[in-house]
Structure 1
């Protein structure tokens, strides 16, 4: 790619727009589809494929997001100082695409041996590939983030301001379009079943399609190479700002005990080396960056839409009638609301506030946005409380639970420890802290000792003239991903085979229980057959997250009404809180985002010096990274037993930060960077003249010193010689 960053040239245009921007817009759409599509299913991949718990999955998710917003600083330095924007985008996009491919390969469960339940046996292999893939993706997506939009702006001439403005509108529309489509499509791909030996959720496809889109993005971008205006790197202003600040600090520290006169601002200590214009610009930047200090707390809440809120949705009912929504698809509410709320805010809300003569400054808007995000987490906590009320009470680590099922064709008097039970069909779960004796009518059957933290079902059956009990272990947690844990007890007099849909199930001998089968929501059809070829079809509509024991009774007969003789015992109730209850929290969070994020970027742009807008952009992205790091700290340090309490903790922290930010905003004085720069630009020639005179004076002093030194040395030499 030699000579690839030649000076800017006029490119071919269509209707006044450079043809090259078409390739940039398509590239951005594909790249955002790739990123948000992969990210939409990421936390579920951690939990259900890599088998990480909620806290660890959340930790790794936010670590990844934090890296994605730390690496833009690196990308900006590489582009502006060495490679230029085009080369940086191409090289880091290759890294990005490789990372996506590695993620897709790491999610193929058929690569390694499988356990009986279909879980990959050698999980270390999958974890290693996943971590490597995420690191490469974070480097790629973060590295090109500050380059693509700026590279698009480089395609326009100075007299194309209107076209440039339209381009940025189309550019950001492509971002939201890619995000929206990917968060709809990739969860659907994930929910498919795929695999050679064992059918599982298709994470390879959910990661593979974004990987393919990233390759397409790279190819499309390279195809347009000959049409681009490529501005060569001219040095990174971010590096210059950092060195200026560093020199001021060092110089102030060096003269901390000297008799030097005090200076109005600590940055004035850089005057010995840097121009006053640069120092004035750095002061304006630091003034805004100081206001950025509280902002990460907003992003700590905002980015939990992809982690905690998605996990919350897995315990809810996603049946919307016309369609069934996957938990990770609820994230599409955010981009949809953004497309709706941004024009409403700009054309209705803000003009209405202005007509009411209210001074709704940008910093006040940002304060309101933070408060709305805190309210969103209060809503999430209220929803979580409702979910918790519907969840079964599982035993603690020192207790066991048991329920009794009677398949004898009469009522039984049962005594379990201190519990006297008239057992007609089945009981609810009862909790026992100690072993107990089970007594049924004629006398004690056995001493029952339940392992701690387990749930069991005791089935009482007839064995000739005697009664005996059979003990089976039950699921002791809510079925994952909204699936339903279904099993059959065969009380029929002969072995039966049960098939679920087109999937072979199991042969069950008489008086025995099958293993659980995870069956998705919707209409389920079970085919029950015996060895004589008789068949019974049992149909049941399943919700989300239930657990059922279906009993084929002793009176069961094959035929048209055979399903009537199948009894149903509900071990765990289905999810009853609808996903629609998450919409208010998404609405509040997105409203907060529109008021906070859009206004924050506008405020930063208006308060930034003309040549340092990228510095504040880097600072803004850094607040997102720090926000995700805050999630890691709170999730690991708080260790709250209830999820709703964690939501309230985050909301409280944001309200506290919101108050601090409001106080800081009261003391902020808005500046006009153009006016300040013009003032210092006018003074600059005189400053340079004074600086030149000072340097010449210093040079004269140094030359006189060395001239005197040479004269002194000559005299000394003469004295020695003679």
Structure 2
């Protein structure tokens, strides 16, 4: 009997998944289906329904630019709001309430898209609501997954995030295949309505798990954060002493350790600046590239079977190759270069990713040159561009998230993720501005027509690449995972400042 008791006590208890997790993952898959499904047809719908319904070739440049401008403004709002949504959740509402309430706004947005498919003002209002919904919950959903785990099952967290990421890509792949087909065969109301139904389903799934969620209560307004510390430093610059950083002024009123955390944020933002070039062009694969695909030979001949791909479906290639390249780069490419002496540091990955991004747009520009001269290039050329873009995404996007995590202190990791999303927003705002310039027939707009548009972005990226080559060796790095302190002198100064409070 005693032996049995000892055996039972010595046997480690097997970790169990929280019962709430399936509801969160199901919610995320349905929500991503609705978001990417809507985006896969957005630009083609805007052109066909509002900006060039007669398919007049003389109007195509301006019409395409207007559609692209609205599409990128939509993404700008959607990726700017996670910063606000995260603050509201952390300070006032908690994650559960903001996810639920903003999801209802999200559903109303999809309803407007389906109802007002013949009214530009009504459709635009729907886009605003969808952007608020997608952006408002984005920073809360993934964090809500982590909240469900405690010390007894932390070992399962990485597996759940793997399934969480899988649900995102599954929703994206299925929607970008299905929604363009529905739009082509059943019209806009169904094509926008079905993503709305899926968003409604996502909300119901999330609400169904309400009794199972671990709910971290809001902490109230935390003054020791990035916004308050930066504001204090900027408004008290006259207090700055010789040899001090401009942020050191904030140590008068804020936790010195948090102030040093904000310094780390600004160091990482210097790296993020170069990622801006990537995000100014990545979302074009869901807008400008879709419009280009309509002019390609999209017939796929497999010998025994032949079919035609819909323009909006081609972006599915990105998600497929992204899932392939993630393990390929992590387990083969990076170890290979490390082994031969070319260490794949985050900055080198980022620089290489920017070069590949430029190469991607060279391919797209050459495709457009052929189209401008009356050709109908094969869709396989655009598939090649998607493959290169997927590799660039692994090198830039995933590396950027890793860099944000490893090069910021624990207290600033959420802030860094929010700022990373703001970089995505700013990149889309730049692209929206370029398309707005074309739509308004600016002085140099004729040079941005056709292939000129893509060559402009090739030059845009290369400017960032050249600047990165000069700046990156001078960037001050500090990995908070391998070395929690910047250096002994600064660490001692932090302790001294803290003791003097």
TM-score of the pair, normalised by structure 1: 0.62
Which of 675, 690, 711 is matched with 2:500 structurally? 690
Alignment of 1:183-582 (within 5 A): 183-193=176-186, 202-235=187-220, 240-252=225-237, 254-255=238-239, 261-321=241-301, 322-390=306-374, 576-582=376-382
1:639 corresponds to 2:445 = yes
Partner of 2:459: 652
TM-aligned CA distance change 1:305 to 1:236, over 3 Å: farther
Q: CA deviation at 1:362?
A: 0.5
More strand by percentage:
1
SS in 2 for 1:245: helix
Give the ranges of 4+ consecutive aligned residues of structure 1 lying more than 3 Å apart after TM superposition.
Answer: 235-239, 677-689
CA contact (8 A) 2:15 2:152 kept: no
Q: CA deviation at 1:291?
A: 2.0
1:608 corresponds to 2:411 = no
CA contact (8 A) 1:291 1:664 kept: no
Query: Deviation digits for residues 370-424 of structure 1, max 9, x if unmatched?
Result: 1111111110111111122226xxxxxxxxxxxxxxxxxxxxxxxxxxxxxxxxx
1:153 corresponds to 2:146 = yes
Q: Aligned equivalents of 1:153 and 1:98: distance in 2? A: 28
Partner of 1:26: 26
Which of 135, 141, 149 is matched with 1:142 structurally? 135
Q: Aligned equivalents of 2:16 and 2:310: distance in 1? A: 44
Which of 81, 90, 93 is matched with 2:103 structurally? 93
Partner of 1:676: 485
Partner of 2:84: 74
SS in 2 for 1:19: coil
Q: Aligned equivalents of 1:672 and 1:57: distance in 2? A: 42
1:60 corresponds to 2:55 = no
Which of 383, 387, 393 is matched with 1:593 structurally? 393
Q: Aligned equivalents of 2:223 and 2:370: distance in 1? A: 49
More deviation, 308-317/630-639: 630-639
CA contact (8 A) 1:37 1:210 kept: yes
Q: Aligned equivalents of 2:189 and 2:491: distance in 1? A: 58
CA contact (8 A) 1:33 1:213 kept: yes
TM-aligned CA distance change 1:141 to 1:238, over 3 Å: farther
Q: Aligned equivalents of 1:339 and 1:294: distance in 2? A: 24
CA contact (8 A) 2:15 2:153 kept: no
Aligned residues: 465
CA contact (8 A) 2:96 2:215 kept: yes
TM-aligned CA distance change 1:689 to 1:611, over 3 Å: closer
SS in 1 for 2:31: helix
Q: Aligned equivalents of 2:344 and 2:275: distance in 1? A: 19
CA contact (8 A) 2:38 2:191 kept: yes
TM-aligned CA distance change 1:238 to 1:56, over 3 Å: farther
TM-aligned CA distance change 1:153 to 1:678, over 3 Å: farther
Query: Deviation digits for residues 640-691 of structure 1, max 9, x if unmatched?
Result: 3531111011011101111212322211233133622897888767544422
More deviation, 382-391/204-213: 382-391
Query: Deviation digits for residues 118-146 of structure 1, max 9, x if unmatched?
Result: xxxxx5xx112111100000001001000
Query: Deviation digits for residues 496-536 of structure 1, max 9, x if unmatched?
Result: xxxxxxxxxxxxxxxxxxxxxxxxxxxxxxxxxxxxxxxxx
Query: Deviation digits for residues 340-375 of structure 1, max 9, x if unmatched?
Result: 111111111111111111122101101111111111
CA contact (8 A) 2:15 2:156 kept: no
Q: CA deviation at 1:237?
A: 5.7
SS in 2 for 1:130: helix
SS in 2 for 1:100: helix
TM-aligned CA distance change 1:379 to 1:689, over 3 Å: closer
SS in 2 for 1:17: coil
Query: Deviation digits for residues 541-569 of structure 1, max 9, x if unmatched?
Result: xxxxxxxxxxxxxxxxxxxxxxxxxxxxx
Partner of 1:527: none
Tell which has more relative contact order, 1 or 2 (C-alpha 8 A, sep 6+): 2
Q: Aligned equivalents of 1:78 and 1:677: distance in 2? A: 31
Query: Deviation digits for residues 424-470 of structure 1, max 9, x if unmatched?
Result: xxxxxxxxxxxxxxxxxxxxxxxxxxxxxxxxxxxxxxxxxxxxxxx
List runs of 5+ in structure 1 lacking aligned partners: 1-12, 108-122, 194-201, 392-575, 692-722
Q: CA deviation at 1:75?
A: 0.6
CA contact (8 A) 1:342 1:594 kept: yes
Partner of 2:48: 48
More helix by percentage:
2
CA contact (8 A) 2:91 2:222 kept: no
TM-score of the pair, normalised by structure 2: 0.89
CA contact (8 A) 2:224 2:255 kept: no
Q: CA deviation at 1:240?
A: 2.2
